[in-house]
Structure formats: C-alpha cells, structure tokens
Amino acid sequence: MKHLMMGAMALCAVGVQSVVADDMLVEPTPTSVDKRSQPASVNDMLVPSLDDTRIDYLELRKDGGWFTSASVGNMFDTQEAYFTLSLGYHLDEKSSLSLQLMRFKDNGTGMSSHYEVTNKLYQTSIGISYQRTEPLTETLNWYYGGGIGAAYLESDLTMSSMFFGKFYFDDSSWSAYADAKVGIEKMINQNLSVQLGARMYYINDNDFDYDLGEFTGKFNNVYFGLELGVSYSF
C-alpha cells in the first residue's frame, strides 16, 4: 500500500511539471502596438509622401520670397503673339504681388478715299499685378488675378495708292490699362511651376486721329488671349 501511494504521488508531480512547461511555451496574446514607437522603414525615410511634399511647397511660399515669371500667348482677335515678364514677391502661401511688363501688337486695315490704309499698333505696358492661388491636389493649383498700369502705344500707318505711291505716318500716346487672368498651375518642384491660362486685356484709349476721312485709326479696346507661362521662386 505504501508503495502504491508513493507511485501516485510521483505521477502527480510529473503531471504538474508538464502543465507548467506547456504554459511557459504558449505564445503571448498579441496586444496593440504604438506605431509611433516603431522605427521608420527604409522606404519611408528615402521617399517622402505627397502630403509632405505639398507641405514643403506651402511652407516655401508662406515664408515669402521673390519669384520671376514669363509667358507667351496669342490674342484671339488679332492672331498676334504677346509676351509678359514679371518680377514679384509671395505675400503668403496663396497670394503674390508683382511688377508686370507686357508687349503685343495689333493690325488695322481700311480705306480712305483712294488709299489703302494699314495701321500697326504696338503696345508696351507696365503695371502692378495681383494673383491668388488655390490648391486642387498635391501639385496642382488654380489661380486668378488681375492688374492695372500704364500702356505706351505706338502707331505706324501706311497709305498706299496705285497713282500716288505710299505715305507713312506715325504717332504715339500713353493710356491706362487693366487686365484679368485665370488658369491652372502645375508645380514641378519647390521652385519651378508652369501655368496654362487665359487673359483679358483692356485699353482705356487707343484712338489715333490722323484726320484721314473715313479711316479713324481706332483699334479694339478689349483683347482676349490664351497663354503658357513658367515661374521660378528664389
């Protein structure tokens, strides 16, 4: 009997040790891990996200800074090219103010008595332009703005006749102008962007009184154009 009891106690001891060993081998239940405590992966460190890139663009303009821009376009009415050149400053991440120079020409033809008249108008304007930019995506914006200033107008007039030959006249004057623009801006990087937009250009007074009878020498007061531009921020 004594031997049986000792054998039973030995079996119980072996069972308890087996259970304890099994408990020690059980994998711990997974718990939530704070991702902020995990080290960043190699890809995260080498390739910034689009959100981070966008924040960099905004921060660059938010701090202010100088920029220069240029554009080339075509007037719908005259089918003539025009050019703009600007030097400006970012007031904040969405607003800018610039000094704008613009150059384009217009052609007018008509009849005066027995003469065929050709009048070429060259317009060179300088003024202040304001632009507001609103984001659409991480790298795509839309913009709108306008400006006012003074325009120097030069008129070269030619009168042609089979019997009397050609006569040349010229005149010049100053006038006020205003323009408005709207378009899309694609940001290439923190400094460089390209724009595609439309522009309306208004001249207050561009009449030249040559006193040539039926021919008045009057040009359009309003012009519309489509333009492609590039801008670089310092």
Query: Structure tokens of 36?
Result: 């902020």
The overall pTM is greater than 0.85 = no
The whole-angstrom separation of Cα 220 and Cα 202 is: 9
**Token pair of 4, please?**
């049986």
pLDDT tens, per residue, the chain with 234 residues = 444 445 444 444 444 454 444 444 444 454 444 444 455 554 555 444 444 444 556 566 666 789 999 999 999 888 889 999 999 999 988 899 999 999 988 876 665 566 777 778 889 999 999 999 999 988 899 999 999 999 998 888 787 777 777 777 778 889 999 999 999 999 998 889 999 999 999 988 766 666 655 555 567 789 999 999 999 998
What pLDDT score does 102 carry? 96
Q: Distance (Å, rounded) from C-alpha 44 to C-alpha 164?
A: 80
Structure tokens at 71: 């554009």
**Residue type at 65?**
G
pLDDT score, position 24: 46
Task: Supply the DSSP string of the chain, one letter for each residue.
Answer: -HHHHHHHHHHHHHHHHHHHHHHHHSPPPP----GGGSPPPHHHHHS--HHHHHHHHHHHHHT-EEEEEEEEEEETTT--EEEEEEEEEESSSSEEEEEEEEEEEEEEEEEETTEEEEEEEEEEEEEEEEEEEEESSSSEEEEEEEEEEEEEEEEEEEEEETTTEEEEEEEEEEEEEEEEEEEEEEE-SSSEEEEEEEEEEEES-------BTTB-----SEEEEEEEEEEEE-
Task: Return the pLDDT at 21.
Answer: 46
Residues 6+ apart with CB under 8 A from 110: 117, 119, 214, 215
Residue 80: what pLDDT? Answer: 86
What is the set of domains in the chain, with CATH numbers? 49-233 (2.40.160.20)
